[in-house]
Amino acid sequence: MEANHLTIMDLLDYMGRNAGMLWEYFWQHVGMVLTGTGLAFLAGVPLGVLCAHYPAAAKIVLTATNILQVLPSLAMLVLLMLWLGLGSDTVIVGLFLYSLNPIVRNTCVGLQQIDASYVEAGRGVGMSPLQILFQVRFPLSLTYLMSGVRIAAVIAIGVVTIAPLVGGDGLGREIYAGINNQNSLRIYAGAIPAALLAIATDIVLGGLQRKLRLDNRKSGN
């Protein structure tokens, strides 16, 4: 079916007839993004704390995550496929590695940007280093951390669209099925929800980031 013969009604009709399959792909897509970025968050925040406190460690960790970040996503997934085999697990590990850099870097920068007077105030009231970290440093650096999560999540949504090339699921299956069958309806039915998901994620996380920034300003006043 040629793209110039398509109408919105054609696309809506196709999506309506295949709603069950498209929703399944959509939630597979979301699941892989949440799992990959969630694992990156769990590993990236402690690494960011390490980098903020130890400059020597920061050079090693940030260099390693930078290298992972600049690798083409398809090349990384293919390399992981040789080790882990075909399937969504390969995609999730790829997302984990790809999402580390923005989370580690923004956590590190956020912790380093905190005004020293807040830390000194915490010490002055008898807080331990751990209490200062969780009660002073983290709350004040949340906007930076949220920025890292926002970048990682949007990148991950795009990377997951190539998951079918290594045996993964998600909306990319519909896109590649459309390419293989030269069916523009299937391409749009997979690409448009993926694009809307990325836009919605950016808007929601961006709004949360702005709210945290305003809250920090109010608490600073």
Domains annotated on the chain, with CATH: 3-31+55-220 (1.10.3720.10)
The helix/strand/coil state of 126 is coil
Helix axes 19-53, 8-17, angle to 10 degrees: 90
pLDDT at residue 126, rounded to an integer:
79
pLDDT at residue 5, rounded to an integer:
66
Nearest to 173 by CA among 43, 26, 3: 26
Predicted confidence (pLDDT) per residue in 146-178, tens digit: 999 999 999 999 999 999 999 989 999 999 999
- Name the pTM for this structure: 0.88
**Dihedral angle of Cα 100, 24, 158, 60, to the nearest 10 degrees:** 10
